[in-house]
Amino acid sequence: QVQPVESGGGSVQAGGSLRLSCATSYRTNCMAWFRQAPGKEREGVAAIDSVGDSAYADSVKDRFTITIDNAKNTQYLQMNDLNAEDSAMYYCATANPLTNRRQKPRGATACTLNSADYGYWGQGTQVTVSS
């Protein structure tokens, strides 16, 4: 099973919270969340490496938190203070082989929000925020 499996989407009112999960059957150096709303381009939301260093889009900083449980090969995206702009299909992605060989900078993550760095994508989970 190469494809990541997402869960945890749903509907919530503005100001509410949701937690997304993404499970894989393998270890990878980078896992990330992307989202795509109707009529909009896919955008990176958050990424995390195997030691827990992360990167976030400016639009979600201080509201979303990405974490990883290496023992379970699972990453989580805790989303707080949701607003209508967060409504989208959320996709989990894992690094392609080239990205997995990237050297990690000290104290930071080598994982980016560039979709080209990711080779395996989940089916997506819908997040809908009503105002």
Q: How far apart are CA 25 and CA 30, in angstroms?
A: 14
Provide the total of helices (H) and of strands (E) in the chain, helices listed first: 1, 11
Q: What is the mean pLDDT of the chain?
A: 94
Q: What is the mean pLDDT of residues 71-80?
A: 96
Decide: helix, strand or coil at residue 89. strand
Model pLDDT for residues 76-113, shown as the tens digit of each residue: 999 999 999 999 999 999 998 888 888 888 888 889 99
DSSP code, position 86 = G
Q: So what's the pLDDT on residue 98?
A: 82
